[in-house]
Structures are given as C-alpha cells and as structure tokens.
Copies of this chain bind each other. A is one copy, B any other.
Amino acid sequence: MVHHLTNWVTIYDCAQVVKSLGASPVMAHALEEVEEMTGLAGALVINIGTLSPAWIEAMFLAARAARKAGKPVVLDPVGAGATRLRTDTSRRLVEEGLITVVRGNPSEILAVSGQASRTRGVDAADAIRDVQAAALALARSKGVIVSMTGPEDLVTDGIGSRSIRNGHPLMARVTGSGCVASALTGAFCAVEPDPLKAATAALAVWGIAGEWAARNNPRPGTYQTLLVDALDEVNAAMIRERARVG
C-alpha cells in the first residue's frame, strides 16, 4: 500500500498507475488520520502540486510518522522555484531529514538545492553540468537520493550515480507524467529496500512504458490511455531487453 498526499490535478493518475503495478494506492490528508494511514502503508509519496498550509501540516505529520516507522518517503517538489511557499516547503521537508527520495525536474532540483540563482551556464552543456553538480551536492549534503528526470534521467546518492535513457518525447505532452514518475518511485520503494535501486527501477519502467505506448505514434489523448495499458504490459523480459541504465 502506498499512501499519497498529492495534488488534485493528477491524483487519479497517481492512483491508477500504482494500481497498474499491483500495489494499492490510498489518498488521505486529514490531520486526524494521516499518521494512522501512513502506519498502514509501505511508503509515503508527498507531491506539493496544489499546496496549502493545512496540507503542509499534514505532510509533515505523515512524513514524521513514516520516518519514525522506518518507511521511505518520496517528495515531488512540483513548482519549487516558482513560488516561495513551494521552495520553502520542499527545503524544510529535506532539511528536517524526512525525505528518502526527491524526484523532480532540473529546475525543481536546483530550487531545492538552493543553487537556482547560480546556475546560468553559458551553453547547454555547461547548464547540464551545473544541474548535475547541484543534484549530487544536494544528495550528499542532505543524505537523500535525488532522482532528476529529463531527456536523460539521473539518480544519485551523492557518491554513485545512475543514468536512465528510457522514455519518449510524447511523455512531456501528457499532464502529470512527472507526478506519475514520483508515484511509481513510491511504489518501488515500498518493496525494494535500497532507495537508489528503487528510484532507478521506477524511472526505467516508466520510460519503457512511455516508449511502448508511443510505438504507433498516437496523439496525446490516446497516448495517456496507452501509458496505463503499457504499465500493465511491462514485464521482466521487456525490462531486461529495453532498459538503458548506465
């Protein structure tokens, strides 16, 4: 069972993909029940896509309960860097040692790492190097796994790193493909005790599903449906054959 405190935009998708893997999603946010629900779950996913003060309080309560019980907590810092509320909430969760894996895009990872203002590389290759350095520094200094998605994904504990080169450009056309990556990371963390391995596997499986769903070049509406189908179709043989993890 994977407990989510997530946003209202992609909440259905986060539930459905977790279900597609054979796990049970549960969404609960009331202060009166978040700790109890976290106690039943194998992992907690916190997604700040539609944040408010009451939810922030519930997120801290749930994360503390999860950590106390030794359960992994995945943070998706949606929109960190765009508003102070999002940047500060994400950083406080990380600073307090409540987070196992931070899954975000490069600008969100930069915002959480506090390096956002310093990163203006003169060319694209510089920018990528800056972002990767920030991801490693964040992982090392805070003791978290950083899972940064983009054309090439990077998962790091600050010492070692994995790159995942699966996925398809159409995924960026579907609302919530990042949120789904975080939900899947939570589902993998619930069963795989090494969070570096779990985060890597989640991105590889999601990327392979994205490639498989795109094989007939669908439009975005149909593609969204096929992504759920593909997650159901991905199996061990497909993963062995198609994963491009370096």
Q: Which residues of A contact B (CB under 8 A)?
A: 7-13, 15-16, 19-20, 25-30, 32-33, 36-37, 40, 49-54, 79, 82-86, 173-176, 218-222, 224-230, 232-233
Contact = CB atoms under 8 A, between A and B. Distances in A.
A50 B34 CA distance: 11
23 contacts: A8-B27, A10-B12, A12-B176, A15-B175, A16-B224, A19-B173, A20-B221, A26-B82, A27-B50, A28-B51, A28-B83, A29-B52, A30-B51, A30-B85, A32-B52, A32-B53, A33-B83, A33-B84, A36-B83, A37-B82, A40-B82, A222-B225, A224-B228
Nearest to A15: B175
Given A27-B50, A221-B225, A221-B232, 9 more contacts: A8-B8, A9-B15, A12-B12, A12-B175, A16-B175, A16-B220, A220-B232, A221-B224, A221-B226
A158 B32 CA distance: 33
State the copy count for this chain.
Answer: 3
B220 A20 contact: yes
Most B C-beta atoms less than 10 A away, residue of A13, A29, A222: A222
A118 to B, nearest CB: 21
A240 to B, nearest CB: 21
B222 A229 contact: yes
B52 A27 contact: no
Contacts of A8: 8, 11, 27
